[in-house]
Structure 1
């Protein structure tokens, strides 16, 4: 059996790191099992869906390293859903309901007041053709509910009906169909809710595994019933924990919280995002993983905890820094060129500075240091001015080798008697303007004698 998974985002906003988790989990599962990954846009909400959001989602998951086998749009498949509706109606499993939202809410409150579970009592099944005609004459349009198989003889006499599945993440799961209302599949205006198109597409596209957030666990019982009504095959389900902030707040696509696009623009590495999204809330250590293949080898659905996965956005910086420190010049050459870092000394420059930056783009500040032609007049303390003047007088002539820093500082030490921090810190401040950074033994050959002398105040 070929593993086939899907990621089905709604193109109604930009995806954030929480949305990226199911995309990554499905991709890693497909990668690990040599399967296929389908990007399927849940764009049946024509009013809110936007092509620019769909394009952004495609761009974001591609940046993360996810490569779909195919792309589907639910908005192009209404005829398939219409056919499924007719099949369910013909089987007596989809029935028309005429209650308004206000009437349903009132009935729910009455059931609660009577200490009854707030489930739909299937009153619409009692309507005669004449009563339906009256409602329609009033201008009411029906919504359509799926009749759950939670009874033996009468739909008004429900009984405990357990649906079982072995969840990839959570292990054995049980949902009682008698504890829930018949789900609405079609709205009054004829548009589809998420459930029907999702199940129909999963069947039609041969989806073998559905990996998604654990907010869908209860829905799965009803969806399995719909699968069985339409097909002989039910996919394997896995429900991972949801990602929240450290305070427990959920992430909102509409608020743009930690959108994948904003993280990309901020210079975060895609594998830092993937490492955090996948490993947070699992029994594995949250650490930087360099490649998607390595992350796929580590990924085990059952390692996820049952509680929400809380994360601190600041963790991304540490993960990013660790990944940056191991990137070779070939990995970043094109990105460095885009920000003006190129030429004969670019590779040696990257080797010198990568251990002191959090993002690739941060290298520009050190590129400016290397190429500066003015002194850092305010950086050196007054009591060190004479020392710096004397040190610059001792600057060796060209050509310079890679040992120039050692040669120079030994000469300065012999002439001034300074050593340790009193020797090195004033020189660092005079050369770079700051008290910490890359090794000066690596920077000084890149700065060169001419640019070094230019920093003499």
Structure 2
């Protein structure tokens, strides 16, 4: 059996780290099991769904390294939903209801006042054909509910009905259908709700495993019932913990907080984002994993905590630095070229400065220092000027190598008597304009003797 998973976002905003975590769990599960990953857009809400959000989602997933085997749009699959709805209607488990939202709210409050669970009482099942004809003549249009199998013979005598499954994350899970209202699957305008379209698509696309947020656990009990009513096999289910912001707030697409696009624009590496998004809230240590294959090897959905986890972008910084510090030049070359960093000695520059970078784009700072002169951040104090000027007169002849820095500073130390920070810091400031940075032994050959002398105060 080929394992097939899916990620089904609604294109009503830019995907954020929370729903991206779900995409990553599905992708890694497929990767680990040589399976397939389907990207499926829940875009039946035409008023809120936008093509630009779908396109951005595709780009964000590609940036992360997620490669769907196919991309589907629910808005193009309406005939399939129509056929499935007719199947349920013919079976007598999809029935029309005519209450308005106000009427339903009044009924809910009445049930609460009587200390009854606020679930739908199935009053629409009592309507005769004549009743329905009269209501429609008055201009009412029905919404359609799925009749949950939580009774033996009389649908008005609801009994405890447990739905069980072995969850990939939580182990044995149980939902009591008696505690739930019959879900609306079709709106008054004839459009379908996610609860229904998701089930129909999962069946039609042969989805074998569904990994999603644990806010869908109750919904899973309902969808299992719909799947069985359509005569299909129930996929394996897994429900992972949700992510919150660092302050504990929920993450929303509408606010744009922690969107993948914003993290990418901030210069974070895709594997830094993926490593934190996947490993946080699990029993695994949160480390910078270099590639998806390596992340898949340590990925285990069962190691996920049941409680929500906080995602703090500040935690990305250390992971980002770790990835950049180990990044080979071949991986950085094209990105450096896009930043205008090109030339015969670009690889030497990268190897010299990468250990001091937080973002790849920070390499521009050192490119400009090597090419154009010291930064203006720090200036030599007056007492160091004469020392540095004399030190430059002791520069060794070319050719220069990594050993040149030691040869030079040994000579300066012998001549001036300075050592330690009073020796090295003024030279660093004169050469770079900064008080910290890459090893000067690596930078000096890039500057060359002529370029170094040009920095003599």
What TM bracket, shorter-length normalisation?
over 0.9
Tell me what 1:170 maps to.
170
Is 1:124 matched with 2:139? no
In structure 2, distance between residues paired with 1:245 and 1:263? 14
Tell me what 2:409 maps to.
409
Tell me what 1:208 maps to.
208
In structure 2, distance between residues paired with 1:112 and 1:455? 81
Mean CA deviation greater in 218-227 or 392-401: 392-401
* RMSD, aligned α-carbons: 1.2
8 Å CA contact 1:94–1:145 kept in 2: the answer is yes
Query: Cα offset for 1:258?
Result: 1.3
Counterparts of 1:54-453 in structure 2, within 5 Å, are: 54-373=54-373, 379-453=379-453
8 Å CA contact 2:374–2:432 kept in 1: the answer is no
Deviation digits for residues 67-122 of structure 1 (CA, Å, limit 9, x no counterpart)? 11111111111000000111100100001011111111111111111111110000
In structure 2, distance between residues paired with 1:159 and 1:401? 83
Deviation digits for residues 140-171 of structure 1 (CA, Å, limit 9, x no counterpart)? 11100000000011100000000000000011
Counterparts of 1:7-86 in structure 2, within 5 Å, are: 7-86=7-86
Query: Cα offset for 1:254?
Result: 1.3
* Distance change (3 Å), C-alpha of 1:303 and 1:377: closer
Deviation digits for residues 274-312 of structure 1 (CA, Å, limit 9, x no counterpart)? 001100111111111011011111111110001001121
Match of 2:397, SS?
coil
In structure 2, distance between residues paired with 1:297 and 1:329? 25
In structure 1, distance between residues paired with 2:401 and 2:70? 55
8 Å CA contact 1:375–1:430 kept in 2: the answer is no
Query: Cα offset for 1:46?
Result: 1.4
Deviation digits for residues 306-346 of structure 1 (CA, Å, limit 9, x no counterpart)? 10011211001111111111110001101011101121111
8 Å CA contact 1:375–1:454 kept in 2: the answer is no
Query: Cα offset for 1:393?
Result: 1.7
8 Å CA contact 1:389–1:456 kept in 2: the answer is yes
8 Å CA contact 1:244–1:250 kept in 2: the answer is yes
Unaligned 5+ runs, structure 1:
none
Count residues in correspondence. Answer: 457
In structure 1, distance between residues paired with 2:231 and 2:452? 76
Query: Cα offset for 1:376?
Result: 5.3
TM, length-normalised to structure 2:
0.98
Match of 1:212, SS?
strand
8 Å CA contact 2:203–2:232 kept in 1: the answer is no
Match of 1:154, SS?
coil
* Distance change (3 Å), C-alpha of 1:156 and 1:283: same
8 Å CA contact 1:26–1:211 kept in 2: the answer is yes
Runs of 4+ displaced beyond 6 Å: none
In structure 2, distance between residues paired with 1:244 and 1:78? 34
Query: Cα offset for 1:263?
Result: 1.3
* Distance change (3 Å), C-alpha of 1:376 and 1:115: closer
8 Å CA contact 1:376–1:429 kept in 2: the answer is no
Query: Cα offset for 1:453?
Result: 1.6
In structure 2, distance between residues paired with 1:125 and 1:220? 24
In structure 2, distance between residues paired with 1:163 and 1:419? 76
Query: Cα offset for 1:397?
Result: 2.9
